[in-house]
Amino acid sequence: MVLDLGGTRPTLTARSHAGKTGSGLLYEQVVDYVEGLVAERGLVPGDMLPTYAELAASVGVSLITVRRALDELERAGKVRRHQGLGTFLARPRIVTEPTRAGSLLTTLGGEGDEPGQTLDTRVLEMLRGLPSPDVARALRIRADAHVWRLRRLRMIDGQPAVVETSIIPVALAPDLDQQVSRLDGSLYDLLAAECGLEDEYEEQYLEVVLPGPEERRLLTIPPRTQVVRIRGLSMDKSGIPFDCFEQLYPATEFAFAISGSTARHLLPTPGFQDWDLRALPERAAVPARAARASRPSR
């Protein structure tokens, strides 16, 4: 919905907004004005805010000051800017617990603040190939051992939210490529039921990076937008590593709850440098299929 600045509705002005004019830094006055505007108009995520010029005129500041204020609001995850379109009110950040073993988005589906959220999963790729040296060391397999690379796109309320990649030894899950139609839910539930691989321990590295063009396209985010990248390793109850995984989250849309534990330091700091797969001759990708996820878990 686009905010209509015309009509007969009362317009909030900088002068009337809690007497903020003349107090604090100039960009803070713009922040206060925008927050008051949201409250007064009852704006919801997806609604468009006034233009830079309109905000500058309403508060009586320069365009540079408006840009600084919107920078702060965007860093706080309260607005999203799309070049050529405008500035939009962002939905509240989704809280997830990446360190909870065996789970990707455990706060969805009734545990978070928005129980009505829906999670869909699209299988993008199932490839068989050879691991990079870093992945082979982490999985404790030979360089010529075959691995699966499963890539999925997780969507929340129909919007792309997480790009997830798992690299799993073929020897531990030999028929995984035949289970593509069942990969719309919990990968780890499937691995436990079909392969006896129960997630007992995970080690992860989290960093903020710029995604590549393909990841940016999948997440539908503009250029120079950062993502949170989590790379990790999962082990079963016998201490056998069975999954090198990577998750990419838009940095402005998620918050992460992390609890401490004694680290085993299985992964080389700061995480794998080479995450690619070596292609096998005359091997083709399993066709990607779109599917609906029944549970928000890995």
pLDDT digit string, tens, across residues 150-176: 999 998 888 899 999 999 999 999 999
**What are the C-alpha distances in Å from 34 to residues 87, 117, 262?**
11, 26, 44
pLDDT of residue 127: 94
Phi, psi of 140 (to 5 degrees): 60, 50
For residue 285, pLDDT beyond 90:
no
pLDDT of 120 above 90: no
- Between CA 258 and CA 71 the distance in angstroms is 26
Asked if the bond preceding 270 is cis, omega within 30° of 0, the reply is yes
Residue 22: predicted pLDDT = 46
The predicted-structure confidence for 2-27, as pLDDT tens digits, reads as follows 333 333 333 334 434 433 444 568 99
Using 50, 70 and 90 to split pLDDT, how confident is the model at 117? Answer: low
170-198 residue pLDDT tens: 999 999 999 888 888 888 889 999 999 99
SS3 (DSSP) at 75: helix
Res 118 pLDDT > 90: no
CB under 8 Å to 149, separation ≥6 — which residues? 125, 126, 127, 128, 129, 165, 166, 167, 277
pLDDT score for 19: 38
Using CB atoms within 10 A of its CB, is residue 184 exposed (0-12), middle (13-18) or buried (19+)? Answer: buried
pLDDT tens-place string over residues 35-60: 999 999 888 888 899 999 999 999 99
| pLDDT, averaged across the chain | 78
Q: Where does the pLDDT of residue 286 fall: very low under 50, low under 70, confident under 90, or very high at 90 and above?
A: low
Write down all domains in the chain, each with its CATH number in brackets: 26-89 (1.10.10.10), 94-291 (3.40.1410.10)
- Bigger pLDDT: 77 vs 198: 198
Pairing mode, strands 147-156 and 119-131: antiparallel
What backbone phi and psi angles, to 5 degrees, belong to 245? -125, 155
